[in-house]
Chains A and B, each alone.
Chain A
Amino acid sequence: MLSFCLRRRCFSTGIQQIEKDGARILRIVKKRVDERALLTSQLSESMSTPEDITRLKQLKESEPIQEAWDEWAKTREALHETTALLEDPELKSMASEDYTMLSNTLQELVKTRFPAILVPPSRTAHLSALMELKSGVGGSEASLFLGEMLRMYLRLAQSQRWKASVVSESALDGGGVRDAVVEVRGPGAYDALRFESGVHRVQRVPATEQSGRVHTSTVAVVVLPLMEEADAQQEELYSMDDVKIEVMRARGAGGQHVNKTESAVRLTHIPTGVTVAMQDERSQHQNKRRAFQILASRLMEAKLIREMAERRASRRNLVSSADRSDKIRTYNFAQERVTDHRIGLSLMNLRSVMEGDGLQDFVAALQRDNEETALEDLLAED
């Protein structure tokens, strides 16, 4: 009998624990549900005044939160009833099964469903990514590692069914790549890869090193949202009047006098001072198109950063937005370990990160961390 009481106390503590853990999010959901009730009470009898129409629209939009809340209330009620049944020795075993199921549902509501409804969906979810890799300190060893990173990302793209293409690459005679630009096309590519932006550090004994001394080299990665012409227009990123288009290098008399390939183009977005130079393509028209795409991608990134800053403006000093110069990850070959410094995640299988599915674990963990941060932002507004 004594053991039974203990278990019961333990069960009710379970409900309290869920409510305590989810107190802040439950408070927000409750607030939204109360707002709905207020809106409903404000509707006129005819339900057709202009104010009504706005209210009905708002009610429609917040329906999912109401539904989830109703489910919460229903499940909570059922849980209380089940708790009573636990005292009946005949029904005990069946009831405890229900009890587990119902508590799981409550847990799931608090941990997943409520946040999913409250946190607005990513507005960049449909965007592809433009990824730039540049070797930093470490000379040719950095370039060798950059080549390996390039293959790592191409492999990731393949496993995610994104279409990756290297649009420019300066390969070195002695092996390795000094810098490269990769287009990764496919929905979700930007949202997954954006957290790769930053400085990646490699620690190993270079193949060329005779003395066996460990070198530290770096590769800088910048990931931009790839803006197609339609996306750029929709976001109203720039007006053509604000973009100065310059052709680079003189052509002498030009025209029939010259048949040298001279297609480099530079764009300057005057209000922001952002400049883009492009010479990888064989015609001016193609270079101009590519340059405009990169300009739009850079302006979009700036816009996203600005929006995030505005959202967080009310928060004190919690802003930890990654600076491009921040060291984000270390690949330590001697210890076979990859560590992401932002989330403190280490994987002990370096080879699986470079050549297998290990990188996906980092990508997923960083996305999860981002979602949690978004939720924290939301809770902080409360």
Chain B
Amino acid sequence: MASSFSRLAATLGRRQAALELRWLKAAQVHAPLEEMVSRRVAGEPLQYILETQPFGPLTLKTRAPTLIPRPETEDWTIRLAELLKNTSSKRRRKVLDLGTGSGCIPLLLCELLPQGTLTTFGVDQSLLAVQLARENAELTGFSTDEQRNTFSAFQASFLDPLFPQLHLGLEPPFDVLTSNPPYISWNEYLRLPNSVLNYEDPKALFGGPDGLDFYRAIARLAATRGFLSPDAVVAVEVGDGQAQQVEEIFHSVARVNSVIWLDPWDKQRTVVVWLQPVDASHSRRFISGESGYPQ
């Protein structure tokens, strides 16, 4: 049989193969190397084989079919943490993450903000995701200790008209609302690479015919009286080319201010929304460079 390296190199190219082989060899996984290489060659994402993915300073568990944390999400979550650090809050902030998956967004906020200043919640319609998110809360030490920041995950669909009233423990108002909702449109869905299409949960990817269904639901929730605190900030990840449309969705439901953040590859990746018109000088302090005020 060909060497592990040459098998990987045939599908990944030599450079990527060399890197991945090293990570596979170093992985704390019980499976034999040959077997891991075979799974990788068959197209399985590396993160599911290694069972972990670093996310900021954290190392989170990954397990099919829950969405693998992406570098774009890592980047904007770190940026959101900086923004929250620079705007002080007198009370302990409540954070809600919609479609939390592995729990990566709230857990990274818990890690990066001063301890004891955040209570974070995540909801996901998938029980598998909720289980994984809870394991990650345990793993990172943000599950129960009230002295530190905390994260709890609930199974819930935020499309449910009765959300969040039906869910004990999820009490509005929230000070920070985050989401990396499914945003892939029908047309794009069929063109996804196999490593995404065949392994990751379609419910975490498919965002309706135009990919924007979940933003409409999030904007509706955000505009619901009492759901967010008056100075709340909303940050949602968007797909390539969706940022302006998502901004418009928020502007159509309430008088808001918004900016678009670029990801490290210069794609418009995150729409950040303030419910109340913020004083321009105040906002400019933490919005660097690539701001895109509409109107």
Residues on A lying within 8 angstroms of B by beta carbon are 168-170, 173, 245, 247, 250-251, 253-263, 279-286
Report chain B residues within 8 Å CB of A285: 54-57, 74, 78
A254–B241 alpha-carbon span in the complex (Å): 11
9-residue interface stretch from B119-127, B145-153, B187-195: B187-195
Q: Which residues of B contact A168 (CB under 8 A)?
A: 22
- Give the CA-CA distance A280 to B26 in the complex, in Å: 12
Q: Is the CB of B265 within 8 A of A261?
A: no
Cβ 8 A contact of A257, one of B23, B55, B71, B196: B196
Please determine whether A253 and B240 come into contact, CB atoms closer than 8 angstroms.
yes
Q: CA of A261 to CA of B193 in the docked complex: distance in angstroms?
A: 13
**In this complex, what residue of A is CB-closest to B206?**
A256
Chain B hits for A170, CB < 8 A: 18
Which 3 interchain pairs have the tightest Cβ spacing? A283-B54, A253-B240, A247-B264
Q: Decide: A255 near B54, CB < 8 A? Known: A279-B19, A284-B74.
A: no
Q: A173-B5, A261-B20, A280-B19 are in contact. List 8 more A-B contacts (CB 8 A).
A: A247-B265, A253-B240, A254-B263, A255-B183, A255-B239, A256-B196, A283-B54, A286-B54
Cβ of B267 within 8 Å of any chain A Cβ, yes or no, is yes
Whether A255 and B240, one on each chain, are in contact in the complex, defined by CB atoms closer than 8 angstroms, is yes
The 0/1 profile, CB within 8 Å of A marked 1, for residues 264-290 of chain B is 110101000000000000000000000
Question: How far is B56's CA from A285's CA once the two chains are assembled, in angstroms?
Answer: 5
Distance in angstroms between the alpha carbons of A255 and B185 in the assembled complex: 13
Are the CB atoms of B53 and A283 closer together than 8 Å? Answer: yes
Choose among B45, B54, B78, B263 the residue with the greatest number of A CB atoms under 10 Å from its CB.
Answer: B54
**Would A254 and B74 count as touching, CB distance under 8 A?**
no
In the assembled complex, B68 has its CB within 8 A of some CB on chain A: yes
Q: Is the CB of B23 within 8 A of A282?
A: yes
- B256 surroundings in chain A (CB, below 8 A): none
Task: Tell me how far the C-beta of A230 lies from the nearest C-beta in chain B, rounded to whole angstroms.
Answer: 16
B106 at the interface (CB under 8 A from A): no
Give the residues in chain B near A255, CB-CB below 8 Å: 70, 72-73, 183, 237-240, 263, 267, 269
C-alpha gap A262/B16 in the complex (Å)? 9
Task: Give the total of B residues in contact with A, Cβ under 8 Å.
Answer: 48
Q: Is the CB of B45 within 8 A of A259?
A: yes
Contact A257 B237 (CB under 8 A): no
Beyond A255-B237, A256-B70, A260-B195, whether A281 also contacts B54 by CB under 8 A is yes
Question: Known contacts A255-B70, A257-B239, A279-B19; is A284 also within 8 Å of B264 by CB?
Answer: yes
- A253 to B265: give the CA distance in the assembly, Å: 9
- Among residues of A, the one whose C-beta sits closest to the C-beta of B6 is A173
Question: Can you list 24 residue pairs at the A/B interface with Cβ under 8 Å?
Answer: A170-B18, A245-B264, A253-B267, A255-B72, A256-B67, A256-B180, A256-B196, A256-B204, A256-B239, A257-B240, A258-B196, A259-B45, A259-B193, A259-B195, A259-B199, A260-B193, A261-B16, A261-B46, A261-B47, A279-B19, A280-B22, A281-B54, A284-B264, A285-B74
Q: For the complex, give the distance between the alpha carbons of A137 and B189 in Å.
A: 51
Contact call B72/A254, Cβ cutoff below 8 A: yes
In the complex, A253→B199 CA distance in Å?
19
B184 within 8 A of A: yes
Q: Answer yes or no: B200 CB below 8 A from chain A CBs.
A: yes
Partner of B200, one of A253, A254, A259, A263: A259
Task: Give the shortest distance, in Å, between B100 (CB) and chain A (any CB).
Answer: 14
- Taking A279-B19, A282-B53, A283-B53 as contacts, is the C-beta distance between A257 and B188 under 8 angstroms? yes
Q: Shortest distance in angstroms between A170's beta carbon and chain B's nearest beta carbon?
A: 7
**A-side contacts of B267, CB under 8 Å:** 253-255
Question: What residues of A have a CB within 8 angstroms of the CB of B269 in the complex?
Answer: 254-255
Which one, B70, B237, B239, B240, contacts A259 given CB within 8 A? B70
Contact assessment for B183 and A262 in the assembled complex, using a CB-CB cutoff below 8 Å: no
Does chain A have a CB within 8 A of B135? no
Please give, as numbers and ranges, the residues of chain A lying within 8 Å of B184 by CB-CB distance: 256-257
Contact A173-B3, Cβ < 8 Å, known A256-B196, A283-B71:
yes
